[in-house]
Amino acid sequence: MEKPLAGLRVLELARILAGPWAGQLLADLGADVIKVERKGAGDDTRGWGPPFVEGKDGKHIGSAYFHAANRGKRSIELDFESDEGRRIVRKLAAKSDVLIENFKVGGLAKFGLDYKSLKDECPRLIYCSVTGFGQDGPYAKRAGYDLMAQGMAGLMDLTGTPDGEPTRIGIPVSDIFTGVYSTVGILAALQAREKSGKGCYVDTALVDSTVGVLSNQALNYLVSGNIPKRIGNAHANIVPYQVFPTADGYAIVATGNDSQYVKFCNVLGAPELAQNPEYKDNVGRMKHREVVIGKLSELTARMKRDDLLAKLEAQGVPAGPINNLEQVFNDPQVVHRGMKLELPSDAAKAGKIPGVRTPIVFDGWRAASENPAPLLGQHTDDILKEIGEA
């Protein structure tokens, strides 16, 4: 099938993660993403290792981090500080549908590459700015990073054990969610352009995006006025829905309704816990959380993990293991869905570079570019020829 975004050109003036993540997502969906990188240096994350992908010449061809966010793009080296470099970027912008940048607020104005400077000569351009705090407000001019966003937006205060320190999520979720929201905004703007014929300005921010995904916890606070507390792996609104000890490790049991709770109790050989009127519904179980979880944990701790999971699956009770990443990429479901990529690369010593595809399937086509992340400046000559500069 023709890829959904085939024919769309994206100019990426972004580095690190949030902006490049949006660019990679668009590239996976078929867009031609041209990544403009600083001459001689490139995206900062090219050096964020180890680990690095080893090249055929014994030198590395970029960190694993860089390859995680730049699949399927073309790279051109340019110097923003020079008149020639700025002229080329403006010419590329005029031939693009979308521009993504993540400079500090006003950072591109001095180069004449901000939205205000480009919108008249590029009236159909969708211009997406990704920052820490957005284009306005008291913090707008501050630099923003994922860890700061997780802390300032309340996510860390919700994560961790009650007696432990606030904890960041194990991946840069503020960056990633901002990249995803940026993509949603870009696609919506492209649809609006079909009607109006005009481009627009898309403003996304790490803190906004992190506040935006607080979901049930945000509403728990806004409705009740009570500040949620850290409760480890338990659920703020459902009991039992958490990690339980087993005789040889841990298992997740995620009951979503009273019927599943009854089945869970029956699997544990404790139907009386389901029949107790104080625990018969979720409201009661929430009220008596510590007692209920204590009793259930005593019973799960007597069973081996895989035996417990098999019995729960047989009864239709949602449950699962806690996998490390080796187990994840060997899991039959993950393998079947083709989440791990092996992209051919002439530059890599192994002849290929691994990746993780965009988790979208169109009519059986699993969204992912066939090309790995580019070498620094790999496509400079080709891109210049395409715009009549060579």
Strand partners, 63: 52
Average confidence (pLDDT) over 71-80: 96
- On the question of pLDDT at 62 being above 90, the answer is yes
pLDDT band of residue 205 (cuts 50, 70, 90) is: very high
pLDDT at 340: 98
Q: Which pair of tokens denotes residue 332? A: 């039959």
Task: Quote the CA–CA distance of 108 and 96 in Å, as a whole number.
Answer: 17
Binned at pLDDT 50, 70 and 90, residue 1 comes out as: confident
Under 8 Å CB-to-CB from 131, ≥6 apart: which residues? 102, 104, 105, 140, 144, 203, 204, 205, 206
pLDDT at 390 over 90: no
Decide: residue 260, CB within 10 A, 0-12 exposed, 13-18 middle, 19+ buried.
buried
CA separation for the pair 381, 91 (Å, rounded): 15
What pLDDT, on a 0 to 100 scale, did the predictor assign at position 249?
96
The residues, any chain, with a CB within 8 Å of residue 361's CB and separated by 6 or more, are: 367
Q: What tens digit of pLDDT does each residue of 281-308 get? A: 999 999 999 999 999 999 999 999 999 9
CA angle 234/239/242 to nearest 5° reads 35
Integer Cα distance of 102 and 40 in angstroms: 20
CATH superfamily of 9-213+337-387: Crotonobetainyl-coa:carnitine coa-transferase; domain 1 (3.40.50.10540)
Averaged over 81-96, what is the pLDDT?
96
Residue 80: predicted pLDDT: 85
User: Has this prediction a pTM greater than 0.75?
Assistant: yes
pLDDT at 199 > cutoff 80: yes
Packed helices 173-196 and 18-28: angle between N→C axes, nearest 10 degrees: 60
Structure tokens at 10: 């994206």
Q: Does domain 241-323 have CATH number 3.30.1540.10?
A: yes
Compute the radius of gyration of the chain from its Cα atoms.
Answer: 25
Contacts of 336 (CB under 8 A, 6+ apart): none
Structure tokens at 117: 């400077």
The whole-number pLDDT of residue 6 equals 97
Dihedral angle computed from the Cα positions of residues 314, 319, 324 and 330, in that order, rounded to the nearest 10 degrees: 40
For residues 80 and 72, the answer to whether their CB atoms sit within 8 Å is no
Average pLDDT of the chain, as a whole number = 97
Contacts of residue 256, defined as CB under 8 A and 6 or more positions apart, other chains included, come to 238, 241, 318
Whether the pLDDT of residue 65 is over 80: the answer is yes
pLDDT, residue 81, reads 86
Average pLDDT over residues 166-184: 98
3-class SS letters over the chain: CCCCCCCCEEEEECCCCHHHHHHHHHHHCCCEEEEEEECCCCCHHHHCCCCEEEECCCCEEEEHHHHHHCCCCEEEEECCCCHHHHHHHHHHHHCCCEEEECCCCCCCHHHCCCHHHHCCCCCCCEEEEEECCCCCCCCCCCCCCHHHHHHHCCCHHHCCCCCCCCCCCCCCHHHHHHHHHHHHHHHHHHHHHHHHCCCEEEEEEHHHHHHHCCHHHHHHHHHHCCCCCCCCCCCCCCCCEEEEEECCEEEEEECCCHHHHHHHHHHCCCHHHHHCCCCCCHHHHHHCHHHHHHHHHHHHCCCCHHHHHHHHHHCCCCEECCCCHHHHHHCHHHHHCCCEEEEECCCECCCEEEEECCCCEECCEECCCCCCCCCCCCCHHHHHHHCCCC
In tens, the pLDDT along 140-151 reads 999 999 999 999
Q: What is the pLDDT of residues 98-142, one digit of tens each?
A: 999 999 999 999 999 999 999 999 999 999 999 999 999 999 999
User: Which is catalytic among the residues 28, 43, 146, 175?
Assistant: 175
Q: Is the pLDDT of residue 329 over 80?
A: yes
Does the active-site annotation cover 146? no
* Structural domain boundaries in the chain: 9-213+337-387, 241-323
